[in-house]
Amino acid sequence: MLFDLRSGKRRRVVQIVFGGLALLFAISFVGFGIGGDVSGGIFDALGIGGGSSSSSSPQYDEQLDKAESTLETDPKNERALLDLVQYHYLSATSAEDGIQSDPASGLVVFSDDAQSQLEDAVDAWNRYLDTKPKDVNVDGAVNAFQAQDLLFRGALGSGDPSGALDAADGAAAAQRFVAERRRTASDYAALANYLYYAGNAKEGDAAAAQAVKASEPASREQVQKAMKAAAEQGAALNKQIEKAIKQGGGQGGSSIQDPFGGIGGGPAATTPTP
């Protein structure tokens, strides 16, 4: 059950929450130099418009069918599994009316098909990891991170604290591969944020320290301040998620009257190329 934005009080709380998300996105983009060549904000960076996108997911059916056909005879084919991760993610983010956002609140809403595509992308990623690849594919990890990032924000918007926590764990796990390969300030920042959301403060602090270390000397102080804010907001958001779970708030749970108590926070998203 999505939050009823017709209620003035609830609409205001949603605006506060996602205003905080937008603020942290802005800090990440400016402080870490993310998305300098990307126009249109965070949703465009993720391939999502403020309304619906113009293309349709069937454009990727051929690639998905080919990958599935390969896996029927070779279920551990790494390339085919990575193709599933990529094309399920692209199908979700390019489908008409698949993923929409409220431009005022930032609330993310999925169609059933887009939700399924994102979950299939994550499932394919987990199947890929089960093959124990010698060298984990960073592009696949990027797609898996972005799918989990969307699922996280969708879970926040729909009042599903358990789903949000699971997605935060998954996003952090995928982003760790990216950060350890590319070793950029923005990638470590994204990792730190999701570790904080997932409640792993110690590991989050370690990733935040790496983000500071990897930043340019001129921006190091700014990055350090951003990471301190991320730690505080991430810890507060995780606390509210855990509280909602203990109170019995599941998907569509009515116990979450206000989405996590008006606490801001959000992923320092990267801008990977699929």
Q: Which of 143, 96, 154 is nearest to 120 (CA)?
A: 143
Domain enclosing residue 33, as ranges: 8-262
* pLDDT tens digits for range 130-147: 999 999 999 999 999 999
Tokens of 205: 């602090």
| Cα(40)–Cα(20) distance, integer angstroms | 18
- Distance (Å, whole) CA 239 – CA 221: 27
CB-based contact 192:208 (threshold 8 Å) = yes
Does residue 120 form part of some domain? yes
Mean pLDDT for 93-100 is 81
Total domains, the chain: 1
Phi, psi of 102 (to 5 degrees): -75, 115
The reply to whether 271 falls in a domain is no
Q: Per residue in 56-93, pLDDT tens? A: 457 899 999 999 999 999 999 999 999 999 999 999 99
Any domain includes 1: no
What token pair was written down for 144? Answer: 């898996």
168 phi and psi, to 5 degrees?
Answer: -65, -45
Whether residue 179 is contained in a domain is answered as yes
Does 270 map to a domain?
A: no
Mean pLDDT of the chain: 77
Residue 247 lies in a domain: yes
Flag whether 267 is in a domain. Answer: no
Tell me the pTM.
0.76
**Is 64 part of any domain?**
yes
